[in-house]
Structure 1
């Protein structure tokens, strides 16, 4: 099986299906039929924006960076990028794929609206922050000064206000 495909499949299972499902369970499996129309519209918009940003980032990473996003705690699941990306979605922040996932998960939080789901989200952010810091060490080794400059001019997850 193609390593790229495995990386994409793992991302889908973990971030698009798995974490929202854990959030749902942590919320006590609420009845989603009771969500009002306005909340559903907000949830759908955040899902489209978040998943759209993540997909754009993945496509950009494949086409420009020559690699795949799934690199877990310094274990190469799929081929790593061979070019530093600072434009396109990577001009927004250093981790636009995760920003997209977080936007999507905020939509899930709005749908579920529970402390349990919020705790899952906070734990996800903490774990991903550790993962990203490990990834940044590797990127510094791979791209040196160019990556150092990119770090100075961008934020890890949020867009930089100029």
Structure 2
């Protein structure tokens, strides 16, 4: 139970608060008044959709996979899933939680419209791709042919 909570808190601190804050700082800490109405609307819509997809994925992972999402570069921070999830949000793409985070952070990028925020966003995508590839190796080892067949049917990030 304690390790579950650690995983959720780390995810919240890093992905929901931390990276957007670093994007804000990298953009020169603009005044919120500088953000246009259109930017605010896009930020709100992408935040709701992105975080909603991530929460759906986390709940699905906990209920179906009996695990927690926070696994960093093959270091088990919280209990890993005990079964391969291929339905629900994981039928859309293999990493719906991360896709949701990227959608949310893209909304932040639109609101900030700065080179600094874009660089942070690109660095995040590159680092998370390395993490995902490490995780895919573990999933191949844990679930074998079932995982390999799943990767043939479902894309890594984008559902199309």
Fold equivalence (TM over 0.5): yes
- Return the offset for 1:154: 1.2
List structure 1 runs of 4+ shifted beyond 2 angstroms: none
Residue 127 (structure 2) pairs with residue 135 (structure 1): no
Does residue 38 of the first structure (1) align with residue 38 of the second (2)?
Answer: yes
Tell me what 1:92 maps to.
Answer: 92
TM-score normalised by the chain length of structure 2: 0.98
Q: CA RMSD in A?
A: 0.8
1:29 paired residue number: 29
- Stretches of structure 2 that go unaligned for 5 or more consecutive residues are none
What is the deviation of 1:36? 1.6
Who is 1:52 aligned against?
A: 52
Deviation, 1:147, is: 0.2
CA contact (8 A) 1:66 1:81 kept: yes
1:32/1:112 contact within 8 Å kept: no
5+ unaligned residues in a row in structure 1: which ranges?
none
**Residue matched to 1:104:** 104
How many residues were matched structurally? Answer: 160
Q: Bigger shift: 41-50 or 151-160? A: 151-160
- Could you tell me which residue of structure 2 aligns to residue 154 of structure 1? 154
1:35 and 1:23 map into 2 onto residues whose CA distance is 14
Instruction: Return the TM-score normalized by structure 1.
Output: 0.97
Q: Would the aligned equivalents of 1:139 and 1:147 in 2 still touch at CA under 8 Å?
A: yes
Any idea what the Cα deviations from partners look like across 1:86-141, whole Å, max 9, x if unmatched? 10000110000000000000000011100000000000000000000000000000
Equivalent residue number for residue 113 of structure 1: 113
1:38 & 1:132 partners in 2: Cα distance?
33
Over residues 69-89 of structure 1, what are the superposed CA-to-partner deviations in whole Å (9 max), with x where a residue is unaligned?
000000000000001001000
Please say if residues 32 and 111 of structure 1, whose CA atoms lie closer than 8 Å, have aligned partners that are also in contact: no
Contact 1:58 1:68 in 2 (8 A): yes
* Post-superposition offset of 1:38: 1.8
